Structure 1
Amino acid sequence: MYIEKLELKNFKAFKKLEYTCNENFNVIVGENNIGKSTIFEALNLWKFAYDRLIQERDKTRFYKAASNYYLPFSELNQIRLVDDNDLLYKTNTPSASITVTIREGEESFSLKIRFEKPGIKNAYIRFFNSDRFSEFERFADFVRPKSCSLKNAIFIYQTRPISTIGRSEPFYNNGQIEKKISIGKSHDVLRNKVLKTENSQVRVSERFDKLESRLERVLQKRYQIRFKNKNRTDDEYVRITAECAEHKELEISMMGSGFLQILEIFSTIEYIESHVDGICLILIDEPDSHIHSDLQSYLIDELKNHADSQILVISHNDRLVSKVDEGELFYLNNAVKELGKLDPLLISDFHKVKTGLASILEELSAEDTRPIILTEGKSDKKILDTAWAKLNPGIPMPFKIISSGIQIEEDRRTGSAETVRRSLEYLSTLTDRKIIGLFDNDREGNEQFRGLNRQIFNPHDLALSSRKHLTKNIFGLLLIVPEFRADFVTQTSLTQRYLVIEHLFENEILEQYNMKGENILQTNVFEISGNKNDFSHACVNFERGAFREFQQLFDKFEELNGEA
């Protein structure tokens, strides 16, 4: 069995979407905030509701269609919701639907679950299988002769990027492990998953051989995994270590993010394989996040050689495009959303995706070799370009400012602090060019600045505004705080920081262009409101003096370029 199709109606980012899946391997690429993660959320929410539809007393049957069923709002961990309106594309239509079509040979089953927002705010979500109850009954009849249960006929598990794990992890049973995985906390049971892959019938040194072999094929190193508990009945916490020729035996919480990322993916695959006789759909979110570019192709090769599960990968990495075959690559963009149909790309169209994902690489290959300043968005770039021209009339800019984002046309790029971070980490594997990634000095900018891979950038320090790559001339830089905006950045906390590039202008200018928001908690601090793009274009009309606070930022660019 496998999932043949996913259909969404009025669900989160999608008015409608019909996604025809590949039976074995799927890679979805696309712009930021376009809805890739929403596809994962839809599958996880559908499975959560599907499990609730199975009768408690007779687990071979579904509850009757006439009844209403409820998911408490507080239990919806599979989906990002601030309130129940976030479930819907159009909030004036109170219901959404998710339909999963399952196929085995000539048989297919279209299992639709409808979700409805009730009148009581953020209390629960009502759901129904009334539209297709005959399909649910037919599926139950089809599964009954199989060795798997109705619940275990469909396993949908997601692995997320991880860089660290906790030092202590209790022993869990299978049910507890599966619940953790199903609510997106697979990393909390990493040691337990590794332990469940143990083959106790062979010599101690060979008990994790299958998992070790997979790690070796991806990481190109032979690791030996050891279970250290002598008494698994009385011991409270699981102890798993790893050792290779390059370092001594370490508890796995001490291992690097790349190792943990691969171990997370393949321990989940190994665990599920040994417990499932049905659909095993594994959702892998950004599998290349903490892995060096040279190893990413090995990871995809290993995943594609894994024939026992249906795998769905979402990524921003254009290198994955060259590793997939026809029928396995899906490109999600606004045109697809408007059409409402996500089909696999033809090989002849693959180059369009590579072009769309290579906006920054275009700059690297250009003859212009000036240091690059990478901004969060196109309005930041426009303001900085204008500020330099006003402060230094007639003097060529000694660096090139580009905005982050995957769109090739710069005026369409939709960058963010996250895209700056990901771009810096990705570019560090490709070039020796001098690059400064500029982050807003607000909460999101600081979180992404702090999130720069600690294995390749200097350690994060609240007191420092820049972080340098350990070996290359690549920096992350927080927006410099002018003296008159000192209150906007609390030095001891990441959460009480509000400074963005528009704050470098005086209040009078911001008020004139309706950019000044309401003051926060009766302080002088305020957030920027209004249209940033329109404001950035209006900047060309400002006098030179309006840009005086930008000189300190340009001086910092020069300082970092000199330090490099």
Structure 2
Amino acid sequence: MFIKKVMLHRFKRYPKASIVLKDELSLVVGGNNSGKSTILQALAAWQFCKTLIEIEKGREGWVQAGGKSGVGLGIVDFTPLQVPSLAHLWHNLKTSKVDEVDGYTLKIKVFWDDEEGEERFLEMGMSLANDRLFVKATSTNLTLEEIVDADGNPIAGSVPSVAYLPPFAGITDREGRLTPAMRERFVGQGLSGGVVRNVLFDLHEENKRQRARLLENRTKLKDSDLAWLRKNDPWEVLVSAMQNMFGTDIRIVPFNERWHSYLKVRCVKGEVDSKGVFKSHPGFNARDLMVEGQGFLQWLSVYALSLSPEVDVVLLDEPDAHLNAALQKDLLQSLEDLAKVQRKQILMATHSPELIRLHEHDRILSVVKTGAKYLSTPDGRIKVLSGIGSIHTPTIHSLMQNKRMLILEAPSDLRFLQKLAEQAGFKWPQNVTPWYWTGTASERLQLFRQLKKEIPELKCISIRDRDDEAANTVAESLIDRGFTNKEEGFTVMKWRRRHIEGYLLCKAAIARAAEVDVAEVEAFFKKDGHALALPDDTTKSDVAPSIRDAHAKEMFTQGDSLKKHFKISRDDVAAVLTSKEIAEDLKTFFKAVEALSK
């Protein structure tokens, strides 16, 4: 069940706002203090008020809109977010009546469609008197029959359920079994790490129940049931993701509340084999979850909450904060898949240029001080991405200072090129700012134009893999002949080989990196899977077409790869290349970067 719209009345930054939301995954972007977190916090506060009324009055309290009595509480009991005082929930700290018909001067109204496609809404109102907060449902079109069955039990899925995760913090060495109220308090205080073991424990317990149900009187799960479980069960999905992403298995230590005071979760390092089975490293001792890296814990916390079957709408406030660019990309893709398969709505506030570049423009909710709306064109994404008027990143600062820009496909490409430049005797210039984007040359040109409006002296080189484009679309100068849209200061280049890894197909260097004979490397490439004869010299720009068109990226990482066969990576080979083994195309590129820096 998805939230389609939220209307705010005097909540924090917004005196009035109406924000339309889409299903599945949306990025919420905007500059500092623009109101990104306010939108997430409003939905978190709505969920808290809804739950509070249900606990105190039952679901009948939702449909008794306009009743006289609300539920009162102090600041210590208001757990969805931290505020210095309850008055800070109100716009401009003004809590008294203005034009409201009742004393409930702060209102959050949420809209959704029921299973028949009919619009439903529930508005929560708040009032402040003598430092005490009063909460009640102030408007709704729900009926009691829609939300409670004939026996008085809540009907699941009749009203959206929301969970809010602030930036990760607060993991402890000892985490007890917590009530739902205590968990909400920890999360509201920004200590989401203090409940991560509880979330994992619940997912694991539900997995045990599912397995027991599917087993019935059998001793072994049917293959079809096991396949369903691995695709749909939250615990199975989580464990598989952590094994593949981090080479780490998550193991719950059995907990008995009569004897144990704390939940224990262990981590074991290993790798997933070709059959998809996780094998722990020999002799590796399981260790507590707490000692894992901040990026791992952030990723785990986000993914575990997003998989919770009790939650329809997941609110993530900068979950990429402790992740490198590669893990940010993996997290985005994983959450996109999860939103589709598990039918979740995810709102993810972020400052990350990496995530903004990767996401579809019409799934980016751009927040400004007056409200928020989805981008209507790709150009809108580029404007947001550039940081002009909204997101002012360190990269933009560097561009403004240096006025020289190099667009690459990934950070790993920069490290790779800088290493080879050093070995080739070229000094990599410090005044060229890297920008990472997998987009087309046309998209990169639009980005350049947007930036140049603010940085008139900006110059740029864009370079990317040739991939499946014809070899004759690249000149020996590496200029992309297939790109005809010229722009002063913008140089479009492309590698003459299919992939940048093609410049590492040097059998002598591969042999040195793998510490084997050259003959063994030759035999590896001549096998049916590759059918490639490597010449003694692969440095020429006009090297044989079989080398230029080789799927070198896959040769390093996929199937019967160099990684699997010789236990070496692209970086290992690059590290042992001599100056004489570095390809002419690379040296051509280094000269172009050197010229750009002047």
TM-score band, normalised by shorter chain: 0.5 to 0.7
Contact kept in structure 2, 1:163 and 1:290, CA below 8 Å:
no
* Residue equivalent to 1:75: 77
Give a deviation string over 1:410-457, Cα, whole Å, max 9, x none.
99xxxxxxxxxxxxxxxxxxxxxxxxxxxxxxxxxxxxxxxxxxxxxx
* Residue equivalent to 2:89: 87
Give a deviation string over 1:140-162, Cα, whole Å, max 9, x none.
43233598547984321122333
Contact kept in structure 2, 1:109 and 1:139, CA below 8 Å:
no
* Residue equivalent to 1:470: none
Are residue 162 (structure 1) and residue 168 (structure 2) matched? Answer: yes
Counting only pairs closer than 5 Å after superposition, residues 237-252 of structure 1 correspond to structure 2 as 237-245=262-270, 248-252=285-289
Quote the Cα distance in structure 1 between the aligned partners of 2:179 and 2:68. Answer: 32
Contact kept in structure 2, 1:78 and 1:184, CA below 8 Å:
no
Quote the Cα distance in structure 1 between the aligned partners of 2:402 and 2:52. Answer: 59
* Residue equivalent to 1:351: 382
Are residue 126 (structure 1) and residue 134 (structure 2) matched? Answer: yes
Are residue 143 (structure 1) and residue 147 (structure 2) matched? Answer: yes
Quote the Cα distance in structure 2 between the aligned partners of 1:185 and 1:309. Answer: 23
Deviation at 1:71, TM superposition (A): 3.3
Partner secondary structure for residue 117 of structure 1: strand
Quote the Cα distance in structure 1 between the aligned partners of 2:351 and 2:319. Answer: 10
Partner secondary structure for residue 82 of structure 1: coil
Quote the Cα distance in structure 2 between the aligned partners of 1:91 and 1:222. Answer: 49
Quote the Cα distance in structure 1 between the aligned partners of 2:357 and 2:344. Answer: 22
Quote the Cα distance in structure 1 between the aligned partners of 2:203 and 2:368. Answer: 39
Contact kept in structure 2, 1:117 and 1:125, CA below 8 Å:
yes
Quote the Cα distance in structure 1 between the aligned partners of 2:188 and 2:157. Answer: 13
Contact kept in structure 2, 1:194 and 1:267, CA below 8 Å:
yes
Deviation at 1:117, TM superposition (A): 2.7
Are residue 191 (structure 1) and residue 192 (structure 2) matched? Answer: no
Counterparts in 2 of 1:171 and 1:359: CA distance versus 1, 3 Å: closer
Deviation at 1:6, TM superposition (A): 0.9
What letter matches 1:311 in structure 2? I
Deviation at 1:369, TM superposition (A): 9.1
* Residue equivalent to 2:346: 311
Counting only pairs closer than 5 Å after superposition, residues 448-467 of structure 1 correspond to structure 2 as none
Counterparts in 2 of 1:363 and 1:48: CA distance versus 1, 3 Å: closer
Partner secondary structure for residue 191 of structure 1: helix
* Residue equivalent to 2:18: 18
TM-score, scaled to structure 2: 0.53
Contact kept in structure 2, 1:358 and 1:408, CA below 8 Å:
no
Counterparts in 2 of 1:252 and 1:15: CA distance versus 1, 3 Å: same
Contact kept in structure 1, 2:79 and 2:185, CA below 8 Å:
no
Structure whose CA Rg is larger = 2
Deviation at 1:285, TM superposition (A): 1.2
Quote the Cα distance in structure 1 between the aligned partners of 2:92 and 2:173. Answer: 44
Quote the Cα distance in structure 2 between the aligned partners of 1:326 and 1:234. Answer: 53
Identity over aligned pairs, percent: 20
Counting only pairs closer than 5 Å after superposition, residues 15-94 of structure 1 correspond to structure 2 as 15-54=15-54, 56=56, 59=59, 62=62, 63=64, 65-69=66-70, 70-92=72-94, 94=96
Point out the more displaced range, 293-302 or 78-87: 78-87
Partner secondary structure for residue 188 of structure 1: helix
Partner secondary structure for residue 305 of structure 1: helix
Are residue 97 (structure 1) and residue 92 (structure 2) matched? Answer: no
Quote the Cα distance in structure 1 between the aligned partners of 2:146 and 2:318. Answer: 35
* Residue equivalent to 2:498: none
What letter matches 2:120 in structure 1? F
Are residue 361 (structure 1) and residue 395 (structure 2) matched? Answer: yes
Are residue 107 (structure 1) and residue 111 (structure 2) matched? Answer: no
Quote the Cα distance in structure 2 between the aligned partners of 1:117 and 1:281. Answer: 28
Task: Choose from 214, 220, 223 the match for 2:241.
Answer: 214
Give a deviation string over 1:105-164, Cα, whole Å, max 9, x none.
52111222222232x2xx21233434x24x2xx254323359854798432112233356
Quote the Cα distance in structure 2 between the aligned partners of 1:195 and 1:152. Answer: 26
Deviation at 1:318, TM superposition (A): 1.6
Deviation at 1:103, TM superposition (A): 1.6
Quote the Cα distance in structure 2 between the aligned partners of 1:192 and 1:81. Answer: 25
Deviation at 1:295, TM superposition (A): 1.5
What letter matches 2:331 in structure 1? L
Contact kept in structure 1, 2:59 and 2:147, CA below 8 Å:
no
Deviation at 1:346, TM superposition (A): 3.1
* Residue equivalent to 2:302: 265
Counterparts in 2 of 1:180 and 1:139: CA distance versus 1, 3 Å: farther
* Residue equivalent to 2:253: 228
Counterparts in 2 of 1:361 and 1:109: CA distance versus 1, 3 Å: same
Counting only pairs closer than 5 Å after superposition, residues 291-330 of structure 1 correspond to structure 2 as 291-306=323-338, 307=340, 308-330=343-365
Quote the Cα distance in structure 2 between the aligned partners of 1:225 and 1:129. Answer: 41
Contact kept in structure 1, 2:170 and 2:191, CA below 8 Å:
no
Partner secondary structure for residue 28 of structure 2: strand
Contact kept in structure 1, 2:95 and 2:127, CA below 8 Å:
no
Deviation at 1:291, TM superposition (A): 1.0
Contact kept in structure 1, 2:13 and 2:92, CA below 8 Å:
no
What letter matches 2:8 in structure 1? L
Contact kept in structure 1, 2:361 and 2:380, CA below 8 Å:
no
Deviation at 1:192, TM superposition (A): 1.8
Contact kept in structure 1, 2:79 and 2:188, CA below 8 Å:
no
Quote the Cα distance in structure 2 between the aligned partners of 1:325 and 1:3. Answer: 20
What letter matches 2:348 in structure 1? V
Contact kept in structure 2, 1:163 and 1:258, CA below 8 Å:
no
Quote the Cα distance in structure 1 between the aligned partners of 2:123 and 2:253. Answer: 46
Contact kept in structure 2, 1:77 and 1:184, CA below 8 Å:
no
* Residue equivalent to 1:375: none
Quote the Cα distance in structure 2 between the aligned partners of 1:367 and 1:91. Answer: 40
Deviation at 1:363, TM superposition (A): 4.6
Contact kept in structure 1, 2:12 and 2:38, CA below 8 Å:
yes
Point out the more displaced range, 161-170 or 4-13: 161-170
What letter matches 1:117 in structure 2? L
Partner secondary structure for residue 286 of structure 2: strand
Counterparts in 2 of 1:182 and 1:139: CA distance versus 1, 3 Å: farther
What letter matches 1:53 in structure 2? I
Deviation at 1:365, TM superposition (A): 4.7
* Residue equivalent to 1:342: 373
Quote the Cα distance in structure 2 between the aligned partners of 1:225 and 1:171. Answer: 18
Task: Choose from 304, 317, 332 the match for 1:285.
Answer: 317
Counting only pairs closer than 5 Å after superposition, residues 405-416 of structure 1 correspond to structure 2 as none
Contact kept in structure 1, 2:318 and 2:349, CA below 8 Å:
yes
Counterparts in 2 of 1:20 and 1:261: CA distance versus 1, 3 Å: same
Quote the Cα distance in structure 2 between the aligned partners of 1:81 and 1:408. Answer: 38
Quote the Cα distance in structure 1 between the aligned partners of 2:267 and 2:13. Answer: 42
Counterparts in 2 of 1:244 and 1:231: CA distance versus 1, 3 Å: same
Deviation at 1:51, TM superposition (A): 2.1
Task: Choose from 116, 125, 132 the match for 2:127.
Answer: 116
Quote the Cα distance in structure 1 between the aligned partners of 2:201 and 2:136. Answer: 38
